[in-house]
Structure 1
């Protein structure tokens, strides 16, 4: 299907029908109506009809036929960060920032925090996400997660906008307690003053653990670690490293990653996920988000 020319909504949001593959780290996914929103009024209009929110496109597998809902992307001021300490909320070594938009790329944010000597989020180094999506799933590594550095979250739904704190949410390993369909539009960060070189050393240490991960197109880890056991180890022991369906492959470097060798389809990825579940004895919970959801 040929993409239609961009139009503008009544509040000025840019609306365009586009292939979602270009917005995902896996590089698969069919078309949808994409809304590029840059302020609260545009976001309020965008959620008037069934919608999905698309951040950095990691941790996501989109169906080859796309999705029928409009897909929202945060841009403009909703993709900007005010890292100035708020004097009313900051004290001593604790710094609470101004608002950071949900559309801010996480890797660039982590680099800026390091240069400012602000600690608490360096454990998320290398995660290819936007802030809103990273908060929604409490993205992280063994060295830290998003909720280590949150003070206030602004959440948008068709019912309106509200502000909450981490204490208001039942967050935990790879989940925030924020219901599906709720959009993290902005956050304030709670950070700790440190020397830039100390923050960099922590980032380098955390990044070393990622050196064995594949460099090809991938959504990230496919499955959560069950009961503290490495999902990658279980998949490796099942002899599945390097298994391939079409253009998708279980990465030889790390068995909990599926990569796009070029020309992979969503169907190829789903076939590999099914193969893993069939061959691994322990029950595995998917870490990827599937569009649309599977029954």
Structure 2
């Protein structure tokens, strides 16, 4: 870790290995900007940049990336869950602003304890709110766009606030262009009870029991044409296949895990093996940094 010249807005800037911020535990160095407010975020976006949230669904090159890497901290990682009295009703509440840097798992648990429904289907997803919105993260029990009222999007050209209806969102896709930062959101939640919400979360959790517990970015491939990608990889006889310290998980074939010392090169080699053996077009669910290695 090494310090970089301080920013004029007070953002902390350090050169760090990105492996410390990814759920796979892989990734080379970059200049990391910790943006705690809109002024710091605007300064960070004055040069080529990438935004890094919870680090799931991501495979970063062993050489790192040349762009600045932005992480949301401070006020942009805080949450105001109080109901907005002008927008809330007896059955539904609209919250204050929730920062894009807020960890999603803790948020979901807090909503459950308050008996607030609409996001319980995202339980267990190791993401931050901004990244989860950007890719519309979810499970078959629900997704991020189930619980969104307003999305604040920041680009080098400025900040705008949109409703989900203004975006062409769908399965694992928000319609928000690459390079646009989800800085804050307001949630739209249905009033329920802690027990009812917990039961839905338990159902979603139960469906995840067969997933590996080791370091992993999550599902490697989207389901092609509604067919389970994991089933296709399993039928190709690839469970347990290993290259270096990267392995196709024995528990679920659509997960690649880090056995301890995996590199991005190991992961990419496994992805190539899967594509070749399955024999039909497979679209990655992972995001790759850089996009072409």
TM-score w.r.t. length of structure 2: 0.99
Name the residue aligned to 1:146. Answer: 144
The CA deviation at 1:227 is: 1.1
Indicate the SS of the match to 1:283. coil
Name the residue aligned to 1:5. Answer: 3
Name the residue aligned to 1:200. Answer: 198
- Alpha-carbon contact 1:59-1:287 (below 8 Å) kept: yes
Q: Are positions 1:27 and 2:61 aligned together?
A: no
The total of aligned residue pairs comes to: 293
The CA deviation at 1:282 is: 2.2
Indicate the SS of the match to 2:93. strand
| Aligned Cα root-mean-square deviation (Å) | 0.8
Name the residue aligned to 1:36. Answer: 34
1:159 corresponds, among 154, 157, 160, to 157
- What does 1:36-185 correspond to in 2, within 5 Å? 36-185=34-183
CA offsets per residue over residues 170-199 of structure 1, 9 Å max, x none?
000000000000000000000000011100
Name the residue aligned to 1:280. Answer: 278
CA offsets per residue over residues 79-112 of structure 1, 9 Å max, x none?
0110000011111201100000000000000000
- Alpha-carbon contact 1:216-1:261 (below 8 Å) kept: yes
CA offsets per residue over residues 138-177 of structure 1, 9 Å max, x none?
0000100000000000000000000001000000000000
- Alpha-carbon contact 1:5-1:16 (below 8 Å) kept: yes
Q: Distance in 1 between matches of 2:102 and 2:73?
A: 8
The CA deviation at 1:236 is: 0.1
Indicate the SS of the match to 1:290. strand
Which 4+ runs in 1 deviate beyond 4 A?
A: none
Name the residue aligned to 1:218. Answer: 216
Indicate the SS of the match to 2:96. strand
- Alpha-carbon contact 1:7-1:14 (below 8 Å) kept: no
The CA deviation at 1:4 is: 1.4
- Alpha-carbon contact 1:223-1:285 (below 8 Å) kept: yes
CA offsets per residue over residues 240-274 of structure 1, 9 Å max, x none?
00000001000000000000001100000000000
Name the residue aligned to 1:15. Answer: 13
Q: Distance in 2 between matches of 1:277 and 1:294?
A: 16
Gapped regions of structure 2 (runs ≥ 5): none
Q: Distance in 1 between matches of 2:17 and 2:240?
A: 28
1:254 corresponds, among 252, 255, 258, to 252
Q: Distance in 1 between matches of 2:211 and 2:16?
A: 30
- Alpha-carbon contact 1:118-1:191 (below 8 Å) kept: yes
Q: Are positions 1:242 and 2:216 aligned together?
A: no
